[in-house]
Structure 1
Amino acid sequence: MARRIATPLVNPAYAPVVPRFTNREYLNIVYRTDADALRAVVPEPLEIGEPLVRFEVMRMGDVTGYGPYTESGQAIQVRYDGEWGEYLHAMYLDNFPATASGREAGAYPKTVGQPGLYVDHGALVGVLDYGTLRVATATMGYKHYEMDPEEAARQITVPTYLLKLVPGFDGTPQVAQLVRTEITDVEVKGAWTGPARLQLFEHVLAPLADLPVREVISASHLITDLTLAPATPVHDYLSNRKEHMR
């Protein structure tokens, strides 16, 4: 296996491992938003159908190379080449090695944040703070109804699309690719659904509310073990641009 190169050279910000997630706990809330808002942020050639967004908070019980941490973000339902999946729009973490690895070794749109997931008086609560300000609050009835484990696995194993963007020193892109990945080796240890609510608050540096909540469609609470598959490029924006310039 080739050695993975990362910055700094003699003390990489993240471990050269393929992480295995143990006891990864999800709070997922799927909601309807404005179609025009999605068109403004979803890159071509991805296609939008019903304007659905999945807000997620994930508490990582244990991750090889990173340890426990919490993550939150938004995933948009999209279609590529006839296949339905999700486009990862935004991700906020409280763990720097996982943030650096996701951005550099992968294509995940990760940045810093303070997410949390906990139980409060019969409600599962997911929150996201940016700095000192709250930008998202999600609540779901705690373990009201059990879910089919196979349905739970299908929710989180759809194809995932991301933008791999690497600028050059002059600010122009050196890498601009649409890539595809997916979750593999999933074991669902618990899965529940129930009533849910979601509030998003305006923040210029954490613009989750630019995809406003119009209707909550569904919610789920999952506990899983899983692995992230390596990303595969499916569309190269720079190659297409060069072909058009000829």
Structure 2
Amino acid sequence: MLKSDVLKQSTTPLGGPAFPQGPYKFHNREYLNIVYRTDLEALKRIVPEPLEIEEPLVKFEIMYMPDVTGLGCYTESGQVIPVKYNGIQGEYLHAMYVDNHPAIAVGREASAYPKKLGAPRLYTDSDTLVGTLDYGTLRVATATMGYKHQPLDIEKAREEIMKPTFMLKIVPDFDGSLKVCELLQTQITDLTIHGAWTAPARLQLFEHALAPMADLPVLEVVHASHILTDLTLSTPTHVYNYLDEK
């Protein structure tokens, strides 16, 4: 293979890459979002500077994505924390658990999504929307929400999905030092909402050493939403380099 051809590849292995080049378009992407109040001191131990915490809130989310160009079908779950950076209100992606290797690989390599392997599910059980997350064979989270009880204002749903998002990109060098350590920002701008609802919701988090979601305990459920969308992921931008501090 010529050097010029190597430079055209999206990733390794050559001839059978872990993921294709984007853009990545999502059709019928389904969200279960539960915003809850948590312990402020626990948040302070997790949210990295220079991001600022305004309220002790966390969003637990499960997303079922049945049709993604280049990546197929998968489900994802994680915790998102409302933050502010340089006057911009947005969300910090704390942790994401995914059941699809191409989605994990592209999220980590081509962006900074904090993805690792997990087994999330989103399904309807009689009159209840249910989201679960297992890590290995153990349950980490169980979320329940009434199924389509009340319409959610479409503009409010749009605001939920289109908030600026901040992520940490950390890449070690071969000697163990940090080659990359920076804060990235992205924002979904290409979005179509097919429906949005709210209803009573509950969330249980279970202790796990390697999927420590319960380190941000559920004190009170504040808001829940069920949103159906089409969207395209945007390219992230660099906003802060931690290595400049060295």
Question: Among 168, 171, 180, which residue is 1:166 paired with?
Answer: 171
Paired-residue identity, %: 62
Q: Is the 8 A contact 2:10 2:19 kept in 1?
A: no
Alignment partner, residue 101 of structure 1: 106
Q: CA–CA distance in 2 between the matches of 1:69 and 1:33?
A: 29
Give 1:10 deviation, angstroms.
Answer: 3.2
Give 1:4 deviation, angstroms.
Answer: 4.9
Q: Is the 8 A contact 1:72 1:128 kept in 2?
A: yes
Q: CA–CA distance in 2 between the matches of 1:41 and 1:8?
A: 35
Alignment partner, residue 11 of structure 1: 16
Alignment partner, residue 190 of structure 1: 195
Extract unaligned runs of 5+ from structure 2. 1-6
SS in 1 for 2:189: strand
Question: Among 214, 219, 223, which residue is 1:214 paired with?
Answer: 219
TM-score (norm: length of structure 1)? 0.96
Give 1:121 deviation, angstroms.
Answer: 1.9
Matches within 5 A, 1:9-158: 9-158=14-163
SS in 1 for 2:207: coil
Give 1:6 deviation, angstroms.
Answer: 1.1
Alignment partner, residue 244 of structure 1: none
Give 1:8 deviation, angstroms.
Answer: 1.9
Q: Is the 8 A contact 1:3 1:16 kept in 2?
A: no
Count matched residues.
240
SS in 2 for 1:138: strand
Extract unaligned runs of 5+ from structure 1. 242-246
